[in-house]
Amino acid sequence: MKNCNIHFLPAKAGDCFVLEFSNRECIIIDCGFKSTYKKELRPLLIELQKKGCKVILLIITHTDQDHIEGAIAFLQENGKANNPNIIQVENIWFNGFFNTLLRRSEFMDRVRGLTDIQKREKERVLKEFLLQIPGEEGEISAIQSISFEELCLNNGYSLNTQFTDKVVKRIENKKKQILKHTIHIGACQVIVLSPTEKELDKLADKLNLEMIRNFGVDYSMNQDSQFMKLLELLMELERENMDGNEEIAAMGDCLESWIGTSTMAPVNEINRASIVVEIIYNDLRLLFTGDSDSILWSQYLEKNYHVIKLSHHGTASPNQKLLDSTHGDILMVSSDGGYNKRHPEDEMLAKAILKGNKKLYFNYEIRQKEKLEKLQKAYGFQCFFGKRKIEL
């Protein structure tokens, strides 16, 4: 390994990346589902620990189950930060309900003791939501049993300590000013490109509306763990409702014919609030985008990156501005192992290749594999499927 190994793990419909740098420092970005941790991430972390590695930063980009559920399973097993069972984790970045949304005025004004009637109503709604949202394999998911933030607090992990208000966000709107806020963690430089206060406000507004819809305009709340479960469930249900199925257009025999086939469906507030980071190590420059919309931060991008992780599993709309603004020596797409045949979208793949990106990596085989392999020579690109380690 010259500089870095990127472990690109199969995570069903989710994301899970481990950056293993040559100095034995690691960064984890998202952890997929609970099964991702058990089958893929846990064995890798044990192997890395035996090699003398440590995790200098764990980033959970947003609260979707396919990004955070495996992280909950990991921290539950890893135990106390000062005496870890699996591997040392020095820093965690995550914008959750306690440290991000509930600090806003629309919620702080409502935090108070609940009446007996309100407590019973909370219990009723919680049970109702538990019945509506099963886990990845039918059981109640880990996100519904304990808050990730609660785990961080109880086990002594450093959560968002590099930020004065304990919220991971971009606070400047000019590139030179953003660079002044580069954060040094281990031997890496990390630049936060998104979210801003605006995206977090919109997410809080969505949550507030969901609470009003379920409990009325005069609802009250408290900050116990059960209430956090309820809030997570409300947002998880909203996410599920917004991700409806779309028809897949027929694929032509040339990439140009794939343009215009996407519905260009927008991403929701949860995805738009994803943490987006640029990571610099030695001469490497890496971009990880969560499920965010690149229209929010594309103007701050460099002209070229060694690696770009494309947003939202390769849907076209959130990646449009990114592909217009920058180039990647390697593009990575978290596909879905057959769980959702819309991802990645044909139009995004065509645009990525026609823009001159030459190497595309997918953590699973995708429905377009046969077509792409036939087109590689004519368009001068390469595709790699299911390769779990990318050496840089």
Predicted confidence (pLDDT) per residue in 325-335, tens digit: 999 999 999 98
- Of 49-63, 100-114, 282-296, 373-387, the range with the lowest mean pLDDT is 100-114
Segment 110-128 shows an average pLDDT of 63
| For residues 251-266, average pLDDT | 90
Do β-strands 389-391 and 25-31 pair in parallel, antiparallel, or remain unpaired? unpaired
Supply the pLDDT for residue 217: 80
Segment 54-62 shows an average pLDDT of 96
Mean pLDDT of 299-308: 98
Instruction: List, as one string, the DSSP characters of 282-344.
Output: TTEEEEE-TT--GGGTGGG--SEEEEEE-SGGG-HHHHHHHHHH-EEEEEEE---TTS-TTSS
Share of the chain above pLDDT 90, in %: 62
Residue 334 vs residue 226, higher pLDDT:
334
The model's pLDDT over 11-53, given as tens digits with 9 standing for 90+, comes to 988 999 999 999 999 999 999 999 999 999 999 999 999 999 9
Burial class (CB in 10 A: 0-12, 13-18, 19+), 222: middle
Helix, strand, or coil (residue 234):
helix
Q: Which residues pair with 194 in a beta bridge?
A: 276
Q: Which amino acid is at 170?
A: R
Tokens describing residue 69? 């559920």
User: Does the pLDDT at position 381 exceed 90?
Assistant: yes
Grouping H, G, I as helix, E, B as strand and the rest as coil, residue 217 is coil
Query: Average pLDDT, stretch 128-133?
Result: 52
Question: Of 358, 355, 261, which Cα lies nearest the Cα of 315?
Answer: 261
Share of the chain above pLDDT 70, in %: 79
Crossing angle of helices 225-242 and 116-132, rounded to 10°: 40
CB-neighbour burial class of residue 39 (10 A; exposed 0-12, middle 13-18, buried 19+): middle
Query: CA-to-CA distance for 79 and 280, rounded, in angstroms?
Result: 30
- Cα distances (angstroms) measured from residue 137 to each of 19, 140, 269, 294: 28, 9, 26, 32
How much is the pLDDT for 142?
A: 34
What's the pLDDT score for residue 119? 62
Strand partners, 308: 287, 331
Average pLDDT, the chain: 86
- pTM assigned to the model: 0.90
pLDDT value, residue 302: 97
Characterise 278 by phi-psi region: left (phi > 0), alpha (psi -120 to 50), beta (else).
beta
Rounded to 10 deg, the angle between the 346-354 and 369-379 helix axes is: 20
Six token digits for residue 181: 């806020």
Q: For residues 350 and 116, what is the distance between their CA atoms, to the nearest angstrom?
A: 57
